[in-house]
Structure 1
């Protein structure tokens, strides 16, 4: 069993924010698995669904406390592997990268997960680009994708979903070779 975690913030106002791209991928999986069993347990601190060979988790702790939810679910189910899907400011929009471990790069969701379960899990890094000024980072990640980015977002989400389906069967190196993307969609689209 694989635990697939999409990072984001739970309130409706954050639904289409760049920071919620992990939630968007989980929602794409749920569209394909309408009969996925919803598992309700308060201690999981998240929306958890069981589909064939995978658990799909959207922590409802808000981004900065995501590790609490991941730890609770992983302690209970003891998954064979954990895959975390998250936004990455250091990658241009449309870029997708895969890795195990490493630093959190200032991402508070990853920082929380690392603190609760360690850093040795698979990371699916989805580039969201970055603002022109460092002081605008919080505003940028908590704002919706631009009009140009929204045009390409469905294609990007589908690509990531397919890659994760492959990760259930193939090793990370093979998936990384086949599915890593370096796009220049909306390249001049800065906020």
Structure 2
């Protein structure tokens, strides 16, 4: 195992029709990381688009990935990428939307259940492990009686879009902190910052 190698998966749905949805915030974050690495996404046989590189010379090496599948069946591509690169689940960081966290808030954790998130559920089932790091990007609860499934498949509101770029940068910073300084140090900075 290479201690400096990390797989970072941004969850979402494929295609331009979903690109700006709340459910795709994970893919927005990995796009930011790829941009920082000056890396281009390329097709991978593991049914994902991947970009590889380092954000800073001598820093951790990242494989950032966007599965080509729908959110609810993300496990197959994630498992294929872990195997292809020889990365253990402990060096997997999954970036995903989180209804139970207010918009513009991040929470970091390792392990645990799927909390009703079907993308996480499928990754846990496919990899046989829940022991990966999650960067949970808060999107808040739907207003009124709107169904959660409809809410996550809508684009961010105009008000949210004003703050969204900062949230994406903060989430990408959190990924870098986890890989460079460890989860505990990243949690201290993100949760109390």
| TM more than 0.5 | yes
Cross-structure match for 2:120: 110
CA drift of 1:133 comes to: 4.8
Q: What is the distance in 2 between the residues matched to 1:33 and 1:41? A: 18
Cross-structure match for 1:65: 73
Does the residue aligned with 2:113 lie in a helix, a strand or coil? coil
Cα shift readout 1:153-179 (whole Å, capped 9, x = no counterpart): 001111111111111211111100101
Cross-structure match for 2:111: 101
CA drift of 1:37 comes to: 5.8
- The aligned length equals 180
Unaligned runs of 5+ in 1: 183-191
Cross-structure match for 2:57: none
CA drift of 1:55 comes to: 0.3
Q: What is the distance in 1 between the residues matched to 2:124 and 2:145? A: 24
2:90 is the counterpart of 1:88? no
Cross-structure match for 1:27: 31
Cross-structure match for 1:41: 44
**Cα–Cα, structure 1 residues 27 and 37, in superposed 2: closer, same or farther, change >3 Å?**
closer
Does the residue aligned with 1:14 lie in a helix, a strand or coil? coil
Q: What is the distance in 2 between the residues matched to 1:79 and 1:26? A: 18
Cross-structure match for 1:54: 62
CA drift of 1:45 comes to: 0.9
Cα shift readout 1:21-57 (whole Å, capped 9, x = no counterpart): 00000111122222x2645333x11101111311001
TM-score w.r.t. length of structure 1: 0.89
- Does the CA-based 8 Å contact 1:37-1:51 persist in structure 2? no
**Cα–Cα, structure 1 residues 49 and 148, in superposed 2: closer, same or farther, change >3 Å?**
same
**Cα–Cα, structure 1 residues 75 and 8, in superposed 2: closer, same or farther, change >3 Å?**
same
TM-score w.r.t. length of structure 2: 0.88
**Cα–Cα, structure 1 residues 107 and 27, in superposed 2: closer, same or farther, change >3 Å?**
same
Cross-structure match for 1:7: 11
Does the residue aligned with 1:8 lie in a helix, a strand or coil? coil
Cross-structure match for 1:189: none
Cα RMSD over matched residues?
1.6
